[in-house]
Structures are given as structure tokens and as C-alpha cells.
Copies of this chain bind each other. A is one copy, B any other.
Amino acid sequence: MVTARVPLTPHPDRLLPVGGAVRPIARRLYAAVRDLPIISPHGHVDARILRDDTPFTDPTALFIQPDHYVTRLLHAGGVALDRLGVGEGPLPEERAREAWRLFCANWPLFRGTPVQYWLASELAGIFGVTDRPDTADPDALYDQIAAQLSDVRNRPRALLDRFGITFLATTDDPADPLDAHAALAADPSVRTRVAPTFRPDRYLEVAGAGWVDAVKNLGAVAGVDTGHYDGYLAALEQRRRYFVAHGAVSADHGHADAAAIPLERAEAARLYAQALAGEVTAAAATAFRRHMIFEMARMSCEDGLVMTLHPGVYRNHHPATLAAFGPDTGHDIPTTVEFTRALRPLLERFGTHPNLHLVLFTVDPTVYAREIGPLAGFYPSLYAGVPWWFLDNPAAIRHFHESVTEIAGFGRLSGFIDDTRAFCSIPARHDMARRLDAGYLAGLVAAHRLDEDEALDTLTGLVRAQPRKVFKL
């Protein structure tokens, strides 16, 4: 273990290609987009922290507790999650400091991952940290950051401005009153457009725990009787309209698979009634959910919400961790995904509908070349979501370009999506994407596959025009 202090100085050329001929091209391309505003069409920041502009309490609450990227790697390295305050609110100072010390001491666990890359960018770029955490005095580092967090310039809204975020989508329950979003929209001092995202997963999983109460409540919020299938559909449609009226641009869906298979109306109504009665089988629940994904596409054609799909994750793989610390604590594990057959009925009906924008995300990278590239290379409604979650690293992003872009071109990409719960990582993640895209394009220029003006136009398009087009901003 290193003991002498080692400086933490993110290099201006970091992540750019190393080769002599490519780097200067990449530098020029990156320089053109480095300071462009950030558009974040999908993520997990809570609108209430922006509305309330509550100061972050301490470094642990900011960098460790909410970020399952950090806590899962520490857990794998032998640090129990309770020592990190996972699933808890702000910790008493001594516990927060102890978690921070663990974080610093275990900094080498993050080597080679994008997590270390982002954290280094954030610590140095936002808080002026100059020592590599594993070589620093962790308590001094804690004090240094904590002091800055109490500064008004580091409150959430100030950071939003400082990060240059012009559009930020949150992820929200369909029954959410969206009052935080309304307050932010009504406040002229907030220059960022903060949009909700309609995330109806639990209302579509009729065998899920609490579903009966959830749809009952949804009906109450929507002012519609969800005691029968037509009311359920009407409630969903009503809440989608409510979200649209509050600035939402997309509806987001994450289920076990991507299948969209319509049922006859009577059959759907029958299964719905069974579900309300608590008598639905697992197979029927799956059939109903697949039907509802089809219905969601129909509604997207009607109300214009962009539809994003990210299937194929085994949620809460370790039940004991779920029980002790809640969901989204680092043990959602990918499985194989299939789109070609799963989406065929949906695409048959809506694939060339002018109102549909369907963005496919995956954590199974085998579908990039095999399915997403070919589908996005034909259907005008279908876009390839850039790599996220387990695939948000430099190698996977290059693999994505080599798989999808080579087949479908740059015009079929979603633009960068950060998908993060770690507020301070937003600029680091977008900056990483800009560097990697600049590097990939520079490689095409160096191989004489693109002219540099084409590369520049493509890169600025990926940052600015493409997310606006795909997410209808």
C-alpha cells in the first residue's frame, strides 16, 4: 500500500486515444464539445432535493450511501453494507467518518473501473481534492469536503447550474403529484428544465406485492375507478397526460423481458379481474404485463411520450441484502435479453408510426450487434440506447460503437444517458462519454473513414441535436 501522498490530478487528455496520429484529432474534437451544456434525459435524481435545495450533509451522504456502484464494490471487497450506511439517511458524524475512512482505504478496489474515474473527476473537479484518497488523511479529506458542502455555492441548485445541466429528467411513480417538479418549473431562478419520467412498472406487474393497493390508489389519484380493466387503462392514460402536462418527455419500462404481445380486450379484462381478486397465476401475470407493454406503445403513439425499455435484469438477487437494506443496493444482476422476437408484434403495429420513439437499453451487450443494431438500422421509430449501468465503462462504450454504429450509423443512437443516482457524477459521466466518442470518431478519421468535418458534426450532434431529437425536447 502506498503511504506517501500521491497527487490526484485528472489529466486533460485522460481517456483520449494514446496513438500519436489519433490523439491530436481527438483533442480537437473533444475541445469542441467539452463545454457544451448537459442534457440528461434519464436519471434518478430526486426532484425534491432540487426543490428544497437542501445542502448535502457530508461526504458520505454525497458519495457513498446513495451510490450502489460504490457500495457494491466495497461489499465485494469485504466491507459490510451496514458500515457504509446503505439504506439509511444521514449518519451520525462518527459513523459517516468511519464509512469515509473505509472508502478511502479501499480506494484500490475501484482501480480499473469507471467508478474510480468518475470519483476522481468529482473529487478533484468539484471539491478541489488534491490527494489520491488512498494516500490522503481521510479525516482531513472529510473535513475539506464537508466545509465546502456547507457553502451555498455547493447546494444542489447551484451545482445544477455549475454543471451546465439544461435538461434533467427524474424517474417517478405514476401516482406522484409532481409538486416538486411544478415548484421548480414555477421558479424563475431555476434555469434547468427538470422533467418527470413516467415509470409504471409496478402497476403492470399484477402479481407483484402491493399491486392491488397500488392500482386502487392510482385510480384515486387519477379520479377514475380502477376496479375494472377499462378504468385501469383510463387511469394510466390520465396519469400519462398529467405527466406530459408537467413536462415529462418519456415513459420508462424495466421488466424481466422485452416481450410486447397484445391480448384480446376481453382476455385482458378477465386477467385484470383475476388479479384484483388475488387469483392470478404467474403465467397470466406475465401475459398481462406483455400485453400492457404493447398498450404502453399504443399510448406513446397517442400522447407522444418517448418509450424507453431496459429489460433483462434479475432484481434483488440476494434476498438477505434486500431485507436488510432495501432495493437498488447493488445486487441486481443481468440476464440474457432478446428483442428480435419479443418486439415483433409491437413493431409490426407501431414500428413506422411517426409518433413513436422507442429507445432500447440493455445490460446484455450481446444484443448490440445481433439485434439492436439491425433493428435500429431499419425501423425509423427505434433508437439504440447508449450503454449504461454495468456497461457504462470505456471498453463497453467502444464495443457499443463497434457493434451498433457500424451497423446503424450514428443517427440511430440515443445520445448520452447518465442514468445515475449519484448527483455529482453527472458531469463526470457526460464528460467521459464526450471523450470516448471523440476518441472513437478520431479513430475513424485517422483510418480515413471519415473527414474531420464529418466527425466534428457527428460529435456535436451526439451531444446536442441527437438527444433533443430522440427525446423530443
Interface residues of A, Cβ cutoff 8 Å to B = 1-2, 6, 10-11, 13-16, 18-22, 72-73, 75-78, 108-114, 116-117, 132, 314, 317-320, 330-336, 338, 340-341, 344, 347-348, 351-352, 363-366, 369-371, 373-380, 382, 390-391, 393-396, 399, 401-403, 405-412, 443-444, 446-451, 453-454, 457-458
Contact = CB atoms under 8 A, between A and B. Distances in A.
Contact of A15 (B334, B401, B449): B449
Contacts of A18: 19, 21-22, 443, 446-447
A451 B7 CA distance: 10
Contacts of A379: 76, 318, 331
Nearest to A349: B320
A314 B336 contact: no
A406 B380 contact: no
A19 B446 CA distance: 10
Contacts of A333: 340, 371, 374-375, 378
A288 B430 CA distance: 50
Contact of A320 (B75, B77, B348): B348
A448 B370 contact: no
B19 A19 contact: yes
A376 B76 contact: yes
A449 to B, nearest CB: 6
A447 B340 contact: no
A375 B407 CA distance: 27
A391 B369 CA distance: 8
20 contacts: A2-B453, A10-B448, A18-B19, A20-B20, A108-B454, A108-B458, A109-B411, A111-B458, A132-B451, A314-B340, A318-B352, A333-B374, A334-B340, A334-B371, A334-B374, A363-B370, A364-B370, A395-B402, A395-B403, A396-B406
Contacts of A396: 369, 402-403, 406
B366 A394 contact: no
Given A347-B318, A366-B366, A76 B377 contact: yes
Contacts of A132: 451
A114 B373 CA distance: 13
Contact of A77 (B318, B380, B446): B380
A191 B411 CA distance: 43
Nearest to A362: B370
Contacts of A335: 338, 340-341, 370-371
Contacts of A374: 332-334, 363, 390
Contacts of A449: 14-15, 112, 116-117, 394
Contacts of A75: 378, 380
A53 B333 CA distance: 48
Given A13-B448, A14-B448, A18-B443, A114 B406 contact: yes
A250 to B, nearest CB: 20
Contacts of A365: 369-370
Nearest to A132: B451
B314 A344 contact: yes
B407 A113 contact: yes
Contact of A72 (B78, B319, B332, B378): B378
A215 to B, nearest CB: 29
